[in-house]
């Protein structure tokens, strides 16, 4: 039973670490720094791999725990508490993820607008430098 509580605590530890990484990335994104997104996503993937490994251990150990001799009310309380902590942290992570996705989407939209503006300016400058187009007459200056 203690192993299950230990695994739940370990899982919550990694969830809190995930939350902390999200929090740090949110601060960077708020400052306009999008340079570490690849590292950010890789760090999250590593943590999710660890959580997946812990969940596999939990599934292996959880089978029939309710009727196991020596399963005390304290064990149930500890498990319930760890599950509550997990639910709280996961909810906060989901909120952060929505904020992160929103910031990335806003930055992407701004970048697309800037690229369209640059393209438009190049077309205008290109038309100016190339002179009159086919079918257009040059204006003569009158002396």
pLDDT score at 66: 54
Distance CA 56, CA 21 (A): 23
Higher pLDDT, 141 or 111: 111
Element (H, E) at 137: none
Place of tokens 């994104």: 29
Answer whether 119's CB lies under 8 Å from 42's CB.
no
pLDDT of 132 higher than 90: no
Mean pLDDT of the 120-138 span: 69
Answer whether 47's CB lies under 8 Å from 21's CB.
yes
Domain boundaries defined on the chain: 2-96
Confidence band (pLDDT; 50, 70, 90) for 139?
A: low
Q: What is the pTM (predicted TM-score) of this model?
A: 0.71
pLDDT of 1 higher than 60: yes
Mean pLDDT of the 89-102 span: 94
pLDDT of 140 higher than 90: no
Q: Report pLDDT digits (tens) over 30-81.
A: 998 999 999 999 999 999 999 999 998 888 877 656 566 677 788 888 888 9
How many beta carbons lie within 10 A of that of residue 1, not counting itself? 16
Q: Average pLDDT, whole number, for the chain?
A: 85
Identify the DSSP state of 132. Answer: S
pLDDT score at 3: 84
């Amino acid at each position: 039973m203690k192993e299950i509580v230990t695994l739940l605590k370990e899982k919550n530890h990694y969830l809190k670490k995930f939350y902390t990484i999200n929090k740090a990335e949110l601060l960077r994104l708020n400052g306009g720094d999008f340079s570490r997104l690849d590292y950010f996503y890789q760090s999250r993937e590593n943590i999710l791999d660890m959580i997946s490994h812990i969940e596999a251990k939990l599934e292996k150990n959880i089978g029939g725990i309710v009727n196991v001799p020596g399963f005390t009310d304290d064990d149930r309380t500890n498990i319930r508490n760890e599950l509550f902590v997990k639910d709280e942290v996961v909810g906060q992570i989901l909120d952060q993820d929505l904020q992160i996705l929103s910031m990335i989407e806003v930055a992407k939209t701004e970048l697309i607008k800037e690229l369209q503006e640059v393209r438009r300016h190049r077309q205008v400058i290109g038309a100016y430098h190339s002179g009159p187009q086919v079918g257009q007459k040059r204006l003569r200056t009158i002396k």
